[in-house]
Amino acid sequence: MPITIDKQNGATVISIRGEVDHHSARTIMENIDQTISSTLPMRLVLDLSSVTFMDSSGIAVLLRALRQMEQLGGSLRVVGIPPQPRRVLEAAGIGRIITLE
């Protein structure tokens, strides 16, 4: 499975590994959806430090997680972003709507 789930300082932390592309995005989204619906976190952190590649499918993953967290009245942060995924996110202007650290 390309994700692991942990609790840290009251936040649910989902760590994503490997490539986030059209082959893996659906599975990652389903896992994030299930985690959010089962834990109802007020703070969600997506840790991308082990992501080796991201394309526009990764943007869709993040936007879906953001929508779900907004519906709960919670927050989303994305941390540990390697250079290649950061370039994709910055080119799309994602930092204007999601906290990127």
Residues 39-70: tens digit of each pLDDT? 999 999 999 999 999 999 999 999 999 999 99
Close Cβ partners of 19 (under 8 Å, ≥ 6 residues apart): 51, 52, 53, 54
Q: Could you give the CA distance from residue 31 to residue 10 in angstroms, rounded to a whole number?
A: 20
Average pLDDT of 67-76? 97
Is residue 25 a contact partner of residue 18, using CB atoms and an 8 Å limit?
no
Q: Which stretches of the chain are DSSP H helices?
A: 25-39, 56-72, 83-91
CATH of the domain at 75: 3.30.750.24
Q: Could you give the CA distance from residue 84 to residue 97 in angstroms, rounded to a whole number?
A: 19
Mean pLDDT, all residues of the chain: 96
Is residue 7 a contact partner of residue 13, using CB atoms and an 8 Å limit?
yes
Helix (H) or strand (E) holding 97: none
pLDDT higher than threshold 80 for residue 8: yes
Q: Could you give the CA distance from residue 32 to residue 48 in angstroms, rounded to a whole number?
A: 13
Instruction: Count the domains in the chain.
Output: 1
* Enclosing domain of residue 18: 3-100
What is the per-residue pLDDT for 2? Answer: 79
